[in-house]
Amino acid sequence: MLKVGDTAPDFEAPSVGGKYLRLRDYRGRRHVVLYFFPRDFTPGCTKEACSFRDHRAEVARLDGEIIGVSLDPVERHEEFAKKYRLTFPLVSDADGHIAKKYGVARLGGWLPTKRVTFVIDKDGTIQEVIHSEFGIDVHIDRALETLRRLQGEQKS
């Protein structure tokens, strides 16, 4: 798994709304809260997505963007986003290449990726890695702490 200080690997993948999302498009513009989750519509993943949704305005205020990634197809992401009113990008990593780049792929099993959040600064450097399978709220809490710290660094 990637660690703090590593450069976040770039990727390009299909996203909701018929768009292709490229991580490099955020460089120099926004911090990124990139969260990997196992599957759409599972209880833990739904709670996590709704937690990110509920804090999106604060993330934006801190000059960040939330991006969710799972192996689900775009069509399933579209259904998930509609049902839970998710307004941030959900990326389909159908072949698992993004999860492999970030070191969060599992070897088989029903849950194909680990639940991990990376906070990436505007320069593309990983500033925080949050890995908790069951402590769902820790992901948004620590992501917000990191974004606040980054904003403080920029103001000094």
- On the CB side of 78, CA atoms within 13 Å amount to 9
Residue 45 known to be catalytic: yes
Q: What is the mean pLDDT of each run of 10 residues along the chain (156 residues)?
A: 98 96 98 98 97 98 98 98 98 96 84 93 99 94 98 62
Q: Please, what is the angle between helix 136-155 and helix 43-54, to 10°? A: 30
The 10 Å Cβ neighbour count of residue 85 is 9
pLDDT of residue 153: 55
pLDDT of residue 9: 99
Backbone angles phi and psi of 113, in degrees to 5: -130, 155
pLDDT of residue 65: 99
List, in order of start, the domains of the chain with CATH numbers: 12-20+29-155 (3.40.30.10)
Question: Catalytic pick from 21, 34, 45, 147?
Answer: 45
Q: If we measure between CA atoms, which residue out of 152, 154, 128 comes closest to residue 141?
A: 128
- Distance (Å, rounded) from C-alpha 152 to C-alpha 115? 28
Which structure tokens are listed for 22?
A: 């490229």
- Distance (Å, rounded) from C-alpha 117 to C-alpha 131? 7
